[in-house]
Amino acid sequence: MRFRFERGTSNGKLWLGISDSQDSRNRWRVQEAPFDSPSVDFALITRVFDRVSNTVFVSLAGLNQYGTEAATEFVTNPRYFDDLVRQGPPGWQSKNLQVVIETSIVQARPAPPRAIKAYFW
């Protein structure tokens, strides 16, 4: 997969992230702090078609719970997905897809999600 989850340390602090295997400049990270409310969170949504069984696999997960909540909103609210696919390639309906989502955290709630990077294949 082009986008992948990762985890590491920097200056002794743990972080969670999403990296781009095709462009190392694209990295989205948050400090791992399970009891703190970050100001931003990220999520990864993946849709893959299984041509053998003729089914679709969809996975979504945030770096923290806010990103997961924002990703859920993204895939269940047509407004966000429609904005993404307008930028998609011809025939996007039958292509695999990965999307990196960003959300701001306002008063311990995720703000509307925003697609920051998408890859169709």
Q: What is the pLDDT of residues 77-98, one digit of tens each?
A: 999 988 888 888 998 888 999 9
| Rounded percentage of the chain residues whose pLDDT exceeds 70 | 98
- How far apart (Å, rounded) are the C-alpha atoms in residues 41 and 113? 10
User: For 119, phi and psi rounded to 5 degrees?
Assistant: -140, 125
| Rounded percentage of the chain residues whose pLDDT exceeds 90 | 75
Mean pLDDT, to the nearest integer, of 1-22?
95
Report the predicted TM-score, pTM, of the whole model to 2 decimal places. Answer: 0.90
| pLDDT, position 32 | 85
User: For 52, phi and psi rounded to 5 degrees?
Assistant: -70, -50
